[in-house]
Structure 1
Amino acid sequence: MLFKDAYGGTPLHWAAFKGDLDAVGFLLSISRSTIFEKDHRGYFPIHIASKADNVKVIKMLVERWHEPEELLTTEGRNILHVAAMNRSDNVVRYILATPELRKLLNERDINGDTPLHLAAGYCHPGVVLSLTRQKGINLNYLNNEMLTPFDVYCKYKDIAFFEEMKLQNGITFCALSSAGCEQSLDLNTHKEKRIVTMLPNPAKIQWMKDQVGALLTAGTLVATGTFTAGFALPGGYNSPDNNPDKGTATMINNHMFQLFMICNTASFYCSIICILCCSYALLGDVYPAVKALRLAGKLFGVALPMMSLAFMAALHVVTGKLSWLASLILIMGTISLVILFTDSIISLAPLDWNLPLVRSVSYCICRLLVFVFLREYDAEPPAYLSEKSGSKNKKKKSKKKKSKDKVEKESSSKNMNEKSKDMDEKDE
């Protein structure tokens, strides 16, 4: 029962990791003391189950030991800390839904980090959404470095900005800001110094240039299409022969035609300004280029839905006499516009307003995005949270390697001496 592997794990550790309820129940029936056995990382079996997102195993272990808050790792982390840093959203929801375990919500580890600090630092948007929706959570606790959860996220964002985890970072930002998380005064005080000392990453600059080129091409296409549609009006123009309204559009009094003109004009000017911002983004200075690129992306997010809406209105104008076709066009256009406007709202709407309605809307949108796009993603621990542990692990590994090398050298030298003695005896 107390046999341990090379990592210090007992059979109960492995059963908790695999989620085998029969094995866990059998091992606990033989000896309940295995609950209090740690592995080399300082994890109890309940921490392993929390890391593996095995809720049923945690329920079984909690039934045998009703005070899991006393089971802490060597870093002072409870099961909610471990679940938050390992994206175990099911375990987080179970803990928050259990009144006896809800007291773990604002507990701190050795570094002063709460579960929300770890979820924000590791950039797990699903866990952040679950934690911030819970009543009684302190959103602006300061850890030992005087950083709030939003500060921890900002430090991670500086490392992972413009990388493949951009959507993950954006959802985490919306979840934190809409919940009311704030930056500490200490981080705001040194913000300018930190920005000045930051050196641009060549890989990120190249990624930004590629994005600018893509936006420039797309904005030019939208501007060209809307410019052409502005003169090729549906229904044409009134003929100049004995007509007081010569040169004007024939469908000028149609409401859908008026919607077409408004949306087409808005799309054209947004795309033009987007192209202008892209030209500013090609400047040598990195930080104005980043701001111009963000503005260009928002303008393009407006231009594209406006152009789609103008296209739908124009088709409805020319097919107005055929009711079933006009209705079908409206249905198809409405579905596509809902998708486009949802994407635009996510990038443009002020989801960081701390208002109940906006919080509910942003929570639903972010939860939907997590379910659709981020059900399976790999998230390495950020430098802020893994720097210390990584350096310690490297030191330990180097020490272990040195000790192993010494043992191997000594054993090899002994073997050589023994072989030489045997050879000498044979020669004699």
Structure 2
Amino acid sequence: MYGWTPLHYAARFGHVERAKQLLDMDKSIAYVITDKDGKKTALHVAASQGHVGVMKELRSQCPDCWEMVNDKGQNIRHVAVQNENKKAVKFILENSQLSCLINHKAIDGNTPLHLAAATLHSNRLIYDKRADGMVFNKENQTPLDVTTHYENVTLVTQLTLLSLSDRRNLVHKAALLLY
């Protein structure tokens, strides 16, 4: 089904011990992408389901698999945010070695913060000082623009507070709020 490997299924159902056994036998399976299901790795599947135990196992045995992207150019942070999986988002944000994933743009130009704004989710990502609130996607929208589009006043307020803590260009952001 979908070209999944046994590791994909272990990730889907959160079977940490099975994932460990499979990786002990052959670490290369962590890098296998599906051929019919969005070019996902087992790590993408684990992140979408919030199976942090499997994510930890993959991180410890295959740390460079964290940089792989799916067919949309999304890393695991995109996937966790898009699936509104708070446990996975929290785990990723707490790992400083993964900070390179925070502002990664997918093919559509969206960062995980754009997706958080669009899904009205993930306050932890919005408050993370490493997340660039002024990055533009291919539609020339910042995460604040995306939030305003979805008319979520609470999230707009949170992004505005982030700009204060980051001391970013407040005039530009205030202008965005007015229009």
TM interval, shorter chain, is: 0.7 to 0.9
- Verify: 1:52 aligned to 2:35, yes or no: no
Q: RMSD over aligned Cα, in angstroms?
A: 2.2
Q: Which amino acid counterpart does residue 155 of structure 2 have in structure 1? A: T
Q: Which amino acid counterpart does residue 130 of structure 1 have in structure 2? A: R
Tell me which of 142, 162, 165 is aligned to 1:179.
162
| 1:262 corresponds to | none
Q: In the TM superposition, what whole-angstrom CA distance separates every residue of 1:267-298 from its partner, at most 9, and x where no partner exists? A: xxxxxxxxxxxxxxxxxxxxxxxxxxxxxxxx
Verify the 8 A CA contact 2:67 2:101 in the aligned structure 1: no
1:173 Cα deviation from its structure 2 partner? 3.4
Tell me which of 152, 167, 179 is aligned to 2:146.
152
Structure 1 CA distance for aligned equivalents of residues 6 and 174 of structure 2 = 44
Structure 1 CA distance for aligned equivalents of residues 66 and 22 of structure 2 = 22
Tell me which of 12, 18, 27 is aligned to 2:13.
18
SS at match of 1:110: coil
1:170 Cα deviation from its structure 2 partner? 4.5
- Verify: 1:67 aligned to 2:64, yes or no: yes
TM-score (norm 2): 0.84
Tell me which of 100, 104, 116 is aligned to 1:103.
100
| 1:132 corresponds to | 126
Q: What runs of 5+ residues in structure 2 fail to find an aligned partner?
A: 164-169
Structure 2 CA distance for aligned equivalents of residues 69 and 12 of structure 1 = 15
Verify the 8 A CA contact 1:15 1:21 in the aligned structure 2: yes
1:38 Cα deviation from its structure 2 partner? 1.6
Structure 1 CA distance for aligned equivalents of residues 63 and 175 of structure 2 = 36
Verify the 8 A CA contact 2:31 2:65 in the aligned structure 1: no
| 2:73 corresponds to | 76
Structure 2 CA distance for aligned equivalents of residues 21 and 130 of structure 1 = 26
Identity of aligned residues (%): 33
Verify the 8 A CA contact 1:117 1:152 in the aligned structure 2: yes
Q: Which amino acid counterpart does residue 64 of structure 1 have in structure 2? A: Q
Verify the 8 A CA contact 1:95 1:101 in the aligned structure 2: yes
Verify the 8 A CA contact 1:142 1:148 in the aligned structure 2: yes
1:30 Cα deviation from its structure 2 partner? 2.2
Tell me which of 100, 110, 115 is aligned to 1:113.
110
Residues 1:69 and 1:12: Cα distance change in structure 2 (over 3 Å) = closer
Verify the 8 A CA contact 1:148 1:184 in the aligned structure 2: no
**Count of equivalent residues:** 169
Structure 2 CA distance for aligned equivalents of residues 184 and 145 of structure 1 = 18
Larger Rg: 1
- Verify: 1:143 aligned to 2:137, yes or no: yes
Verify the 8 A CA contact 1:76 1:108 in the aligned structure 2: yes
Verify the 8 A CA contact 2:82 2:119 in the aligned structure 1: yes
Q: In the TM superposition, what whole-angstrom CA distance separates every residue of 1:215-235 from its partner, at most 9, and x where no partner exists? A: xxxxxxxxxxxxxxxxxxxxx
Q: In the TM superposition, what whole-angstrom CA distance separates every residue of 1:106-159 from its partner, at most 9, and x where no partner exists? A: 1111111111001111221xx1x10122222211111111100011122333xx
Q: Which amino acid counterpart does residue 174 of structure 1 have in structure 2? A: T
1:184 Cα deviation from its structure 2 partner? 7.7
Q: What runs of 5+ residues in structure 1 fail to find an aligned partner?
A: 158-168, 192-428
Q: In the TM superposition, what whole-angstrom CA distance separates every residue of 1:144-180 from its partner, at most 9, and x where no partner exists? A: 11100011122333xxxxxxxxxxx454333223323
